[in-house]
Each structure stands twice: as structure tokens, then as C-alpha cells.
Amino acid sequence: MQLSELGRTSVVKLAVRYTLFYGAILTALLIVLHWSSSRFVSEEMEEEIEQELLRLAEIHAKGGAAVLQRDIDARLEDAIHSGRFYLFAGSDGQPISGNLTKWPHEANVLLGVEVEVENIWLDDDILIGNYYTNDAYLPAAALRLRDGSRLLVARGVEQHDALRELSENLFESLPAVVFFVLLVGISMGWSILRRLEAIQLTAHDIMAGDLSRRIPVSDKNDEFDALARCLNEMLARIEDVLTEMREVTDNVAHDLRNPISRIRNRMEVTLLERRSEEDYREAMYQTIRDAEAMMRTFNAILHIAQANAGMVRARLEKVDLVELARQLGELYEPIAEEAGLSLQVQADGMHEIRGHPDLLGQAVVNLLDNAVKYTPRGGRIMLAVQTHTKGIDLIVADTGPGIPESEYQRVKQRFVRLGCDRPDAGSGLGLSLVDAIARQHQGMLLFADNHPGLRAIIRLPLPRGSLETHVPVTYPDDRSDAGLSQV
């Protein structure tokens, strides 16, 4: 991964933008903070200076010059370190007491009636003691006392200095903060880019034809993993559908080869010599029959593929399974009778689901076709609808030879014909289609032993809320849950 590539990522762009934004806000905030706090400090100081000056003037007024002198001396004991400056001077400006050696010239301005704090220039060399102001302007106030002597109070600005130092430090650290934020942003961008790259690599592999590739899922269980899992599920589904399609193609090739070559050979043989019109017509009829069978196979394969791929999803209707069973029972009753079988329909009450009426009908018809075809004369077929806790069952039970339990799964596959020695063996697609239709309705195709015979069950999920309206039929054990009394 190139650095320029990193710069293009939205995360890094976002990080840069936020860094600039926050840097600006931080700077503005610091400026305001510095300005307001320094103002606060100065106001506080001016107040103190004024108070102190007035208090000293009061002491002078009450006790006279000597008391004031003592008081100032006492204050000076600890005042040196806290940066306070006092000067009690005679009317000529000669210092009497205090820690300044000379009346500062500028302080004359302050000797007005009004007590006011101004910044005046104090040289270090007029200070007594080890305090240094570095020759600075210091806030000060002065007063001419009643006897004409002068009084000056000033304050060192070390609080100001501390504040300035703090602000300067903050301002100096600003670039470092910005740099750090940027670094975090870039590293975040890097990690996101790395994970996206994993997805991209997988996508490239898949595009190159390796459909089995999946996006790696980390153990962080974050949104990227959620996305990866989701995409992986999608990929699995796509792979299923494609496999399905490939199988269909194979199946078509496999199952249509025979009738096509049969048609071709019949035509060739028919043309070998001159025949009667009757013979020609016969060959034509046989060809039409073959073509019809091919079409039927073709359509069945398409149906299965569509159902498996979940394509026929739209347009679900309310389907009354009892009505469906009764009508199909009526449709099949004559053919069952012709085959020497009794067809019984056991469907009462209300069993409604949302589904595809034609497809469900096709599924039941396929099961009935099998039952009629494989049950020997004198047998019985039962078509039933039952609701129980596990779902709604559409059952076709017969007294035929049944299917060995080991073959239950295999018969659902396409083109598997168990009775392939029979002359009337079907396309081998019937049960595959039933299975596909059941799964498309979120149900399944089950088989059970009918003792004797086969019990084929299309188990469909209960419609939501149906248990409240229908009394579910429950069965004592799993075996009997597959059906009712033996036919």
C-alpha cells in the first residue's frame, strides 16, 4: 500500500480535516482563555493595590508617620518574596521607609486625588532585596498623604508571568497535539485500508473465477466482521445458485441426449427407404411424443432451478390447502380407480397458508402421480392435510413398495430413478421439483414408512398467529407426527 493511496482514503481525509478544525478551535480557545484570565488577574491586582494603599493611608491618618513606618517594615518582612513594593517618602520624595531606594519619577502622575492604578516603570536598581522585575512596567498606585508625604504601593507581576508561561507552553504544544491527532487518524486509515484490501483481494480472486474464496473474518467482531460475514453469506448464496445452474446444464445435457439421438436415428431410419404414408405419419407422431417429453423435462428443470434459486418469490396468495387437496383428490380419483386403487382425501377444517397455488398444486400432483404409478392394484392412496405444532403437512401416503430409508435423501436429487428398470419410469425430476417447491415455501419434503408403502410429506411452516386460531393436533411421538392412521 502506497502512502499516496493512504492519503486518498476517506478516513485519513477525515482525520486531516478534523485535525485542522480542532487545531483552529483549540487555538481560539487558548487565546480567549489567556486574554480573559490575564484580565481577571490584573483586575484582582489593581483592587488589591488600591485597598492596600488606602489601608496604609488610614494607618498614617490614625497613628502618624512612625506607625506607618513600622507597619511598612513589618509588611516588608514577607513582602519581598511575594513581589510587593512599598515606598513611604517625604513631601520632597526622599524615601522614609519601604523597599524602593528612590521615588520613581513616573509615580508623580499618580499623586492625584483619585486613587488609580497605572503601570509605571521600575528599574531593578531602585529595588531593595533580591527581587527582579527585569526592568518592567508594574501596576502601582500612589497617594499624597495629609501631611504632604507620599505613599506608593506596587506589585510585581509574577502571577502574570506564570499565566503567560502557561499559555506559551500550551501554544507551543499545539503543533505536537495536531501532529499526534494526525498520526492517530493516519493509523486508523491504515488499518481500515488494510481490512478493505482483504475484501478487495477476495473480490479479485472471485472475479478471477475462484468462487470458493471468502473474506477473512477477524475475531474483533466489529462492523467490518459483520460486513464480511454478510458478504460471505451472499457469496455462498451466489455460489449455490451458480452450482445449481451448472448442475442444471449438466442435467439437461445428460437427460436430453437420449431423446435427441432417438429422434435423429428414427428420422434417418425412416428415410432409408420409401415407406407408406402411414409409416411416415407414425414416425412423425413418435417424434412429436419425444419432443413433448423433452419439453416437459426441460420445463421441469427450469422450474426446479427457479424454485431453488428463489426466483419465483413474488405474488404469494392465500392458499386453502384443504380445498387444494379436495380438488386434486377429485382430479385424481378417476385415474386411481382405473389403476385399481382407492383414493381417499382426509382434509377438514381450515388450513390456509400464503403460497404459490400453482406450484403447491404441482408438488401434490407429482406425489400423486408417483403414488398412482407405483402402487399395485388393490392398494390405497391417501391425500391428507394436517396441522400440528411443527407445521402444516400435505401428506400423500400409499401402500406401494415404498422407498428404503437410506434412499430418502437420494430420491430428491435430479434424475434419480429408483425404479429405472420400469418401462414407465419418469423423468426423475418429480421429487426434485416437490423438494424445491417445499423449500421455496420455507418448508421441506419428508418421507416416512407407511407400513407398508411410502408416506411423502410436504411440511410447510405454520402461518404466523395461526396457533391461536387453530387447535393444533399434537401427537405423542415423532413417528406418528408424520401422519395419521395407516391407510
Partner 1 sequence: MNILLIEDDQGAADYLCKGLTESGHNVDHASDGHDGLHLALSATYDVLIIDRVLPGRDGLSVVSMLRAGGVSTPVLVLSALGEVDDRVAGLRAGGDDYMVKPFAFSELLARLEALARRAQPGTGHKRFQVADLVLDLTSYQVTRGGQKIHLQPRELRLLEFLMRHQGQVVTRTMLLEKVWGYNFDPQTNVIDVHISRLRNKIDKGFSRSLLHTVRGVGYKLDEMP
Q: List residues near partner 1 by CB under 8 A.
A: 285, 288-289, 291-292, 295-296, 298-299, 302, 306, 311-312, 314-315, 327, 330-332, 334-335, 338, 356, 358-359, 361-362, 365-366, 368-369, 372-373, 426-427, 430
Kindly report the CA angle at 358 between 357 and 361, in degrees rounded to 5?
Answer: 85
- Closer residue to partner 1 (CB): 368 or 448: 368
The b/e string for 471-485 (b: 16+ C-beta within 10 A; e otherwise) is eeeeeeeeeebbbbe
In the structure grid, which three cell numbers stand for residue 441, read together? 415455501
- Closer residue to partner 1 (CB): 123 or 292: 292
In the block, residue with C-alpha cell 382426509: 346
Instruction: Work out how close the CB of 313 gets to partner 1 at its nearest, in angstroms, rounded to a whole number.
Output: 9
CA separation for the pair 251, 451 (Å, rounded) = 34
- Length of the chain as a residue count: 487
- Closer residue to partner 1 (CB): 189 or 428: 428
In the structure grid, which three cell numbers stand for residue 339, read together? 389403476
Contact between 87 and 106 (Cβ < 8 Å): no
Instruction: Work out how close the CB of 339 gets to partner 1 at its nearest, in angstroms, rounded to a whole number.
Output: 9
Angle formed by the axes of helices 321-338 and 357-374, to 10°? 30
- Closer residue to partner 1 (CB): 338 or 468: 338
- Distance of alpha carbon 292 from the chain centroid: 51
3-state SS assignment for residue 140:
strand
- Closer residue to partner 1 (CB): 133 or 251: 251
Classify residue 1 as exposed, middle or buried by CB count within 10 Å of its CB (0-12, 13-18, 19+).
exposed
Instruction: Work out how close the CB of 463 gets to partner 1 at its nearest, in angstroms, rounded to a whole number.
Output: 21
CA distances from 20 to 7, 10, 14, 176 (A): 15, 15, 10, 13
Instruction: Work out how close the CB of 428 gets to partner 1 at its nearest, in angstroms, rounded to a whole number.
Output: 11
3-state SS assignment for residue 131:
coil
Instruction: Work out how close the CB of 224 gets to partner 1 at its nearest, in angstroms, rounded to a whole number.
Output: 38
CA separation for the pair 291, 289 (Å, rounded) = 5
Half-sphere exposure at residue 326, Cβ-oriented, CA atoms within 13 angstroms: 10
- Closer residue to partner 1 (CB): 197 or 358: 358
**Neighbour count for residue 467 (Cβ, 10 Å):** 12
- Closer residue to partner 1 (CB): 89 or 429: 429
Helical H runs in 9-64?
10-63
Pairing of strands 342-346, 380-388: parallel
Instruction: Work out how close the CB of 236 gets to partner 1 at its nearest, in angstroms, rounded to a whole number.
Output: 25
Instruction: Work out how close the CB of 272 gets to partner 1 at its nearest, in angstroms, rounded to a whole number.
Output: 24
Instruction: Work out how close the CB of 474 gets to partner 1 at its nearest, in angstroms, rounded to a whole number.
Output: 33
Instruction: Work out how close the CB of 5 gets to partner 1 at its nearest, in angstroms, rounded to a whole number.
Output: 45
- Closer residue to partner 1 (CB): 375 or 387: 375
Contact between 155 and 48 (Cβ < 8 Å): yes
Instruction: Work out how close the CB of 302 gets to partner 1 at its nearest, in angstroms, rounded to a whole number.
Output: 6
The b/e string for 252-291 (b: 16+ C-beta within 10 A; e otherwise) is beebeeebeeebeebeeebeeeeeeeeeeeebeeebeebe
- Closer residue to partner 1 (CB): 190 or 298: 298
Element (H, E) at 323: helix 321-338
Instruction: Work out how close the CB of 395 gets to partner 1 at its nearest, in angstroms, rounded to a whole number.
Output: 18
In the structure grid, which three cell numbers stand for residue 409, read together? 435423501
Alpha-carbon torsion 381, 384, 390, 391, what sign?
A: positive
Contact between 392 and 351 (Cβ < 8 Å): yes
- Closer residue to partner 1 (CB): 19 or 308: 308
Alpha-carbon torsion 365, 370, 375, 381, what sign?
A: negative
3-state SS assignment for residue 395:
strand
- Closer residue to partner 1 (CB): 295 or 473: 295
- Closer residue to partner 1 (CB): 75 or 414: 414
- Closer residue to partner 1 (CB): 98 or 430: 430
Instruction: Work out how close the CB of 328 gets to partner 1 at its nearest, in angstroms, rounded to a whole number.
Output: 9
Instruction: Work out how close the CB of 333 gets to partner 1 at its nearest, in angstroms, rounded to a whole number.
Output: 9
